[in-house]
């Protein structure tokens, strides 16, 4: 009977990559904030969702032009307002000390978003969550 190589035996003992680990790290985030993000993602949002929302928010703000209009697309994967909702949910559930690290990254993006989008005077206040979310009250493209 043929023997199996030591490498194949070690490969069988090695656990597969865990799916509960975050997919990506967010550059420039302190260690305490990273740990809080991992906890919030594990409990509420799903792993990698904060990094994905931050990338989506940044991609929207990199578009050319003086003014940006939110897409009128039912797909949540393309809506920067949905990405901003995810970031706000993470910020709301993080401890205050860790929240500051993520807020430091999101605040300049919010300023750019506010500067390059126009307010919608006819924006309906559907519920308290949407009324508090200022980014939901910006003009969408037609």
Within 10 Å of residue 57's Cβ, how many Cβ atoms? 24
Please indicate, yes or no, if residue 14 is contained in any of the structural domains: no
Judge whether 35 lies within some domain: yes
Whether 17 is in a domain gets the answer: no
Spatial distance between the Cα atoms of 43 and 38, rounded to a whole number of angstroms: 9
Angle between helices 96-116 and 49-61 (to 10 degrees): 20
On whether the CB atoms of residues 80 and 56 are closer than 8 A, the answer is yes
Would you state the pLDDT for residue 40? 92
Position 15 in a domain: no
CB 125 within 8 A of CB 63: no
Structural domain range at position 118? 26-137
pLDDT score at 78: 75
Stretch (H or E) spanning 35? helix 31-40
Q: Is residue 54 part of a domain?
A: yes
pLDDT at residue 118 tops 60? yes
**Separation CA 118–CA 113 (nearest Å):** 9
Residue 69 in this model has a pLDDT that exceeds 90: no
- Overall domain count for the chain: 1
Number of residues that this document lists for the chain? 142
Q: Is residue 6 part of a domain?
A: no
């Amino acid at each position: 009977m043929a023997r199996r190589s030591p490498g194949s035996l070690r490969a069988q003992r090695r656990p597969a990559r865990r799916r509960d680990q975050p997919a990506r790290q967010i550059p420039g985030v302190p260690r305490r904030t990273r740990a809080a993000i991992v906890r919030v993602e594990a409990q509420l949002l799903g792993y990698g969702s904060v990094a994905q929302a931050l990338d989506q928010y940044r991609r929207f703000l990199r578009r050319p032009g003086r003014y940006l209009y939110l897409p009128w697309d039912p797909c949540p994967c393309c809506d920067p307002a949905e990405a901003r909702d995810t970031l706000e949910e993470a910020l709301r559930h993080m401890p205050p000390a860790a929240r500051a690290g993520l807020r430091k990254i999101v605040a300049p993006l919010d300023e750019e978003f506010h500067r390059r989008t126009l307010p919608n005077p006819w924006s309906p206040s559907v519920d308290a969550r949407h009324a508090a979310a200022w980014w939901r009250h910006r003009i969408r493209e037609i």
